Structure 1
Amino acid sequence: MKVLVTGSSGFVGRRVTQMACNQGWDVLTHGRTADLSRQPSIVCALESNTDWSSALMDVDCVVHCAARVHQMNESPEEAQHAYQDANVLGTLNLARQAVNAGVKRFIFISSIKVNGEWTKNGQPFLPTFDAQPEDPYGVSKYQAEVGLWQLADETGLEVVVIRPPLVYGPGVKANFLSMMNWVSRSLPLPFGAIPAKRSLVYLDNLADLIITCCTHPVAAGNTFLVSDDHDISIPQLLRLLAKVMNVPSRLIPVPPRLLLWGLSLLGKRAIGQRLCYPLQLDIRATKEKLGWSPPVSLEDGLRHTVLAYQQQKEQQ
């Protein structure tokens, strides 16, 4: 089994590469810069005119983790053009060349943002839906999905789409890292009264599903949602992190409407919505079709994440 993992130096791609190697597969890695720790590897950008021919020789499955994510200091027009070129045109260019090279299966790591930014109470997202992406990143992932399904119909390429929510694990950055920093300092946080629940996915759970989809006979032609199968509110998450860190949890019960109003005044309405609104995924179809379940529990995932965080702080 020969696999090309794009974006293999990224948070998800690196773990997928490790797991694929543990399976004894022949793994070819890809990144924008050279990774001297991984051989063989290919260095190129994800663009509409990238030549992937040398990377696709004798490959059985492409795991496409590479993507353009949020960048600061861009106008909406610049962001939309950049996402379109990388996430849509770059992805479809790779997929077409994969077909020409005889690749059998193409696994696309999409995003739950394709479904939307939040769910209604008691109505978790399903794999089948009316797409409601709201930002340029979500739109680009949706457009890539549409193009891949068209290519699958035309050529017989076995396409698998996976839509994860927020991914956490050892080495996590961005908002989750900020939360751990807040909790570790025992800062008073105004999130104690938020009831909305969210789905998260631990890095190893996502990577395990990706590896499963590389070879599973019924995976092709499906869109899979993935999570830890244990939804949690922001206050519950912060208390769990504090418990694992063995520090006091100081949550102030500010009413969600007041919190959202205050953040809106500060120009942070989108952050307020992510904090105060639910975002839940129904993964029953994933579990039933693949006979799969998340191998790592939410609490164990948080414990591994915090341990890596604490070890890194000690080394600084």
Structure 2
Amino acid sequence: MTKICLTGSSGFVGSRLLYELKQVTTFQVAGLCRRLPHGRDCSGLHAMGDLQEADLSTPLSGVDVLIHAAARAHIMKDEVADPLAEYRRVNVEGTLNLACQAVAAGVKRFVFISSIGVNGNISTRPFRVDDQPNPAEPYAQSKWEAEQGLMKLAAETSMEVVIIRPPLVYGPDAPGNFGSLVRWIEKGVPLPLGAIHNKRSLVGIDNLVDLIIHCLDHPAAANQVFLAGDGEDISTAELLRGVGRAMGKPARLIPVPAGLLQFGATLLGRKAMAQRLLGSLQVDISKTRELLDWKPPYTVEEGLRRCFERSN
């Protein structure tokens, strides 16, 4: 029986991962979250408070693998005076506090859910795992600093570290940009994105969860960094049409030149959002495929369809 502890277990990725881990009879799973969510089933969940201050010696006792999915994630309208300092407090200090306690508790493997933003937020060719990191935003910078701290700890101790960098994760009730796209299509809002021919790598929640579980005990995963993805690159327009087909609703797309949209977004102070919708971000997952002998279980089309199946 492998004892697993999962942080961020009430979040978008964490809740789905916790569900799938519980289906494996050889796993004993405990979920940690900052505070217990209201109005939801909290069985198997334990509140840990702030990561950077928490004493986790009790929940980590006897744990074989710790999956760290908790983080201060993208906040579009951040109201703190120093966003980078706040990201560092949670994502760097909190992660390393957790990792040091994991070492003390004898945890064998630490799986860290990072971000493709460590590589950058726009690509001229598919990002590779050995590219020079180029985090362009405070969130990604904090993830990169946490990665460095974890790898240093791995070099100094017997605890193995596995780092996974996913691009945009989509799935049922996904937050962020994907959730916004779904709401626009659901409302039948005409979108000026019909002429966008960029290339974006995405990862469906079920593909990401499968990869994480694959990394729990694979010998070749020890002290490695992996990029995640569905293995297909699509444009924003193709994504919207795919979401529409999966929902059974038409995506009402108007062909407006990308340059004009970029200009308008800059004038309106929405340059970052425009970059995510108009720019390219491709990921090369060949190392993930070859070293782990892994392939994404679902295509993009299947992943989008599963977004709107309410089986659980």
TM bin (shorter chain): over 0.9
Q: Which residue identity lines up with residue 304 of structure 1 in the other structure?
A: R
Of 85, 90, 93, 2:89 maps to: 85
SS in 2 for 1:200: strand
Q: Quick check: 1:46–1:67 contact (8 Å CA) kept in 2?
A: no
Aligned residues: CA RMSD = 1.8
Which whole-Å CA distance do the structure 2 matches of 1:72 and 1:183 have between them? 21
Of 181, 184, 188, 2:183 maps to: 181
User: Are the structure 2 counterparts of residues 75 and 180 from structure 1 closer, same or farther at C-alpha, using a change threshold of 3 Å?
Assistant: closer
Aligned partner of 1:159 in structure 2 is: 161
Structure 1 residue 77 displacement after superposition: 4.3
User: Are the structure 2 counterparts of residues 102 and 235 from structure 1 closer, same or farther at C-alpha, using a change threshold of 3 Å?
Assistant: same
Q: Quick check: 1:29–1:39 contact (8 Å CA) kept in 2?
A: no
Q: TM-score, normalised by structure 1?
A: 0.93
Which whole-Å CA distance do the structure 2 matches of 1:77 and 1:155 have between them? 36
Aligned partner of 1:13 in structure 2 is: 14
Aligned partner of 2:57 in structure 1 is: 53
Which whole-Å CA distance do the structure 2 matches of 1:6 and 1:291 have between them? 26
Of 84, 98, 122, 2:102 maps to: 98
Which whole-Å CA distance do the structure 2 matches of 1:245 and 1:29 have between them? 32
User: Are the structure 2 counterparts of residues 234 and 74 from structure 1 closer, same or farther at C-alpha, using a change threshold of 3 Å?
Assistant: closer
Which whole-Å CA distance do the structure 1 matches of 2:259 and 2:57 have between them? 53
Aligned partner of 1:227 in structure 2 is: 229
Question: Identity over the aligned pairs, expressed in percent?
Answer: 47
Q: Any unmatched runs of 5+ in structure 1?
A: none
Which whole-Å CA distance do the structure 1 matches of 2:74 and 2:29 have between them? 28
Q: Any unmatched runs of 5+ in structure 2?
A: none
Q: Quick check: 2:195–2:258 contact (8 Å CA) kept in 1?
A: yes
Aligned partner of 1:170 in structure 2 is: 172
Give CA-to-partner distance per residue, 1:98-138, whole Å, 9 cap, x none. 01111000000000011111101xx1011111111011100
Aligned partner of 2:259 in structure 1 is: 257
Structure 1 residue 76 displacement after superposition: 6.6
Structure 1 residue 238 displacement after superposition: 1.1
Aligned partner of 1:195 in structure 2 is: 197
Aligned partner of 1:41 in structure 2 is: 45
Which runs of at least 4 in structure 1 moved beyond 6 Å after TM superposition? none
Q: Which residue identity lines up with residue 174 of structure 1 in the other structure?
A: G
Q: TM-score, normalised by structure 2?
A: 0.94
Which whole-Å CA distance do the structure 2 matches of 1:111 and 1:189 have between them? 28
SS in 2 for 1:177: helix
User: Are the structure 2 counterparts of residues 73 and 237 from structure 1 closer, same or farther at C-alpha, using a change threshold of 3 Å?
Assistant: closer
User: Are the structure 2 counterparts of residues 273 and 222 from structure 1 closer, same or farther at C-alpha, using a change threshold of 3 Å?
Assistant: same
Which whole-Å CA distance do the structure 1 matches of 2:18 and 2:236 have between them? 31
Which whole-Å CA distance do the structure 2 matches of 1:48 and 1:213 have between them? 25
Of 53, 68, 73, 2:72 maps to: 68
Q: Quick check: 1:162–1:225 contact (8 Å CA) kept in 2?
A: yes
Aligned partner of 1:304 in structure 2 is: 306
Which whole-Å CA distance do the structure 2 matches of 1:155 and 1:77 have between them? 36
Q: Quick check: 2:34–2:51 contact (8 Å CA) kept in 1?
A: no
Aligned partner of 2:23 in structure 1 is: 22
Aligned partner of 1:108 in structure 2 is: 112
Aligned partner of 2:294 in structure 1 is: 292
Q: Which residue identity lines up with residue 2 of structure 1 in the other structure?
A: K
Of 261, 275, 282, 2:284 maps to: 282
Give CA-to-partner distance per residue, 1:246-289, whole Å, 9 cap, x none. 33332111111111001111110111111111001000110101
Q: Which residue identity lines up with residue 32 of structure 1 in the other structure?
A: R
Structure 1 residue 19 displacement after superposition: 1.4
SS in 1 for 2:281: coil
SS in 2 for 1:26: strand
Q: Quick check: 1:46–1:66 contact (8 Å CA) kept in 2?
A: no
Q: Which residue identity lines up with residue 246 of structure 1 in the other structure?
A: G
Which whole-Å CA distance do the structure 2 matches of 1:132 and 1:182 have between them? 32
Q: Which residue identity lines up with residue 303 of structure 2 in the other structure?
A: G
User: Are the structure 2 counterparts of residues 225 and 176 from structure 1 closer, same or farther at C-alpha, using a change threshold of 3 Å?
Assistant: same
